[in-house]
Amino acid sequence: MQEKLEQIKQAALSTLESVRDEAALEQWRVAHLGRSSALMGVFDQLGKLAKEERPAIGRQANEVKQLMEARYQETAQKLQNAALMLTLESEWLDVTLPGRPVGRGRLHPNSLTMREIYRIFGEMGFQTYRSREVESDEYNFTLLNIPPHHPARDMWDTFHTTTPGVLLRTHTSPGQIYVMREYAPQPVRVILPGMCYRYEQVSVRKDAQFTQVEGLVIDRHITLADLKGTLNDFYRRMFGAKVRTRFRTSYFPFTEPSGELDLECQLCKGQGCGMCSGSGWLELLGCGMVHPTVLQNGGYDPQEFSGFAFGMGPERTTILRYYIEDIRYLWTNDLRFLEQF
């Protein structure tokens, strides 16, 4: 048995010297150290030997196994080193070259505008209030003095869901009802930012989805002069003290009287361009005094309280702040455009 172990060792080590790759090394391991190898067969026969022979044969078998495993590890390391050197020679890398620059994250231009809006209104004493984007017909229309079949509903091209009475909000005005019902009969001074959705034709000035910032002020003795003063002060802080604004009468079911505010186009400085349709002015928001019916639906007594509301479009403000010629650039996620900010 000792001679057989010696023969197994010599045959295995001799074969190992001819191994040149990892696949051949794995075949050698299976043949000489695997469960069906001759060496493992010796271990299986130890129980059949005489008691006095077992210790010597077992010790010699273990020594042969340990030697073969050590040589196997040495050969495996040599092959790995050789493969590494071959890779380094064939895939040469100049480690002195500078690394690739890591792109720096930036805020979206509309986010920059929204932050500035929050800052200015915060300085003016407004709190920020959030409301949901998926809304009920009741809050989006009925409680805002737009009952079913009212012709004013045609002013908002609505995205309806498959659930009756559930839709994507067309404006942030439903948030007014939530705020009033939460704080009535206390005075209110809040802005309500969020995304809105309308099924509209996309153009350089309009998109089917857009952000809006609703404003609501309710207290005793609030007048139209308070509304005009607040909005004029806001846009002077946003665009500078010399910026020109104008108010026009309009109609919204939830305000009476109602109006719209235009800002002098900052792209053409009032000379007329494609963005302002040649008028020199760009509409930025609708506004008015809160309708008594809406006040009552919110839990306020119209005989005692009054208030004003407005809904501005931050995208158009962004366009004027950064001289962007097409509102669609804001939502195409083109890095060539966004990296400019």
What pLDDT was estimated at residue 282? 87
Contact 325, 265 (CB under 8 A): no
DSSP state of 333: -
In a domain, 275, yes or no: yes
In a domain, 100, yes or no: no
Quick one: 207 and 270 in the same domain? yes
In a domain, 96, yes or no: no
In a domain, 104, yes or no: no
Quick one: 231 and 321 in the same domain? yes
In a domain, 185, yes or no: yes
**Rounded-to-integer distance, Cα 1 and Cα 53, Å:** 9
Quick one: 178 and 303 in the same domain? yes
Hey, CA dihedral for 117, 123, 126, 132, is it positive or negative?
positive
In a domain, 103, yes or no: no
In a domain, 101, yes or no: no
Domain count, the chain: 2
Quick one: 14 and 113 in the same domain? no
In a domain, 97, yes or no: no
Segments forming the whole domain that contains residue 280: 109-338
**Rounded-to-integer distance, Cα 143 and Cα 130, Å:** 18
Quick one: 205 and 114 in the same domain? yes
Could you check whether the bond before residue 185 is cis, i.e. omega within 30 degrees of 0? Answer: yes
Does the predicted model carry a pTM greater than 0.85?
A: no
Quick one: 32 and 144 in the same domain? no
What DSSP string runs through 193-209? EEEEE------SS--SE
Contact 1, 58 (CB under 8 A): no
pLDDT, tens digit, 9 for 90 and up, residues 173-227: 999 999 999 999 999 999 999 999 988 777 766 677 889 999 999 999 999 999 9
Domain boundary among 90, 121, 143: 90
142 forms beta bridges with: none
Quick one: 81 and 124 in the same domain? no
Quick one: 203 and 67 in the same domain? no
Q: Which helix (H) or strand (E) holds 246?
A: strand 245-252
Domain boundary among 90, 121, 137: 90
Domain boundary among 58, 90, 122: 90
**Rounded-to-integer distance, Cα 42 and Cα 34, Å:** 12
Quick one: 50 and 167 in the same domain? no
In degrees rounded to 5, what are phi and psi of residue 334? -80, 115
What are the angstrom distances between the C-alpha of 15 and each of 11, 37, 186, 305? 6, 14, 94, 100
Quick one: 52 and 113 in the same domain? no
pLDDT, tens digit, 9 for 90 and up, residues 291-305: 999 999 999 999 999
Quick one: 162 and 266 in the same domain? yes
- pLDDT by residue for the chain (341 residues), tens digit each? 677 777 787 888 888 888 888 888 888 888 888 888 887 877 777 777 777 777 777 787 788 788 888 888 998 898 888 888 888 778 777 788 888 888 788 889 999 999 999 999 999 999 999 999 999 999 999 999 999 888 878 777 889 999 999 999 999 999 999 999 999 999 999 999 999 998 877 776 667 788 999 999 999 999 999 999 999 999 999 999 989 999 999 999 999 999 999 998 888 888 888 778 888 898 899 999 999 999 999 999 999 999 999 999 899 899 888 888 888 888 888 888 888 88
Quick one: 192 and 306 in the same domain? yes
CATH number at residue 307: 3.30.930.10
